Amino acid sequence: IDSTQAAVTLTNHLLEKSLKAVLIFNEPNNQNYTDISQIENHFENMNNLHGNKLLYETITACQAKKLISDEQAEKLNEYRQNLRNAFSHADSNKTFGETKKIVGIFNPFVHNEIQSKEVKVANFPFLQDTTQKQIADKECVTYFKYVDSVIKSITPNLFIK
C-alpha cells in the first residue's frame, strides 16, 4: 500500500467520523445540566443513537437535518460506493468495475510468440495493486478536498437552530 491508498482510507475515516460527530453534536442539548454526569449521559445516548449507523444512514441523516445539501449527499454517496466501500471492503468488482488491461503470456513449450488478451482487472489479482494505486493517485486529493469542504460547510449549520 502506498501513501495515496492510505490517504483514501484515512479520508474514508475522516468522512465517517466527522458526519457521526456532527449528528451527535447537533442533537438537542439545550438542557441546563447541573453536573458532568448529565452531560456524559446525554452524549452516551447520542453516541448509542448515531455511533453504529452505516455511512449511507449517516449521510441520509445529515441530509434530512439539513446539515448537508442534497448535492453534497449525492456526491458523498458516490464516493461511498466508488472509493470508501470499494477500498475498505477490498471488493475487486467495485474497485475496478469494467477496467481492462492487456495481459501477455509467453510459453515457449506451447507457442513461439507472445499471446496477449484484454482482461478485466477485477479477475486478475496480480494487476490489482498497480491499478488500485493508479485509482488512488488520480482520486485521493480530489476526494480529500471534497470531504474537507463538506466538513467546513457543516460548521455554520450546527449553530442555526
**Tens digit of pLDDT for each residue in 98-115?**
999 999 988 888 888 888
- Angle at Cα 70 formed by Cα 149 and Cα 24, nearest 5°? 65
State the pLDDT at residue 32: 75
Place of cell 466527522: 18
Is residue 84 within 8 A of residue 63, CB to CB? The reply is no
State the pLDDT at residue 33: 77
Among 23-27, 31-35, 124-128, 135-139, name the one with the lowest average pLDDT.
Answer: 31-35
Backbone angles phi, psi at 99, to 5 degrees: -55, 130
Render pLDDT for 14-35 as a digit per residue (tens, 0 to 9).
999 999 999 988 876 566 778 8
State the pLDDT at residue 89: 86
Provide CB contacts within 8 A for 78, sequence distance 6+: none
**Cell numbers placing 120:** 478485466
Long-range interactions of 42-49: CB distance < 8 A, separation 24+:
49/24
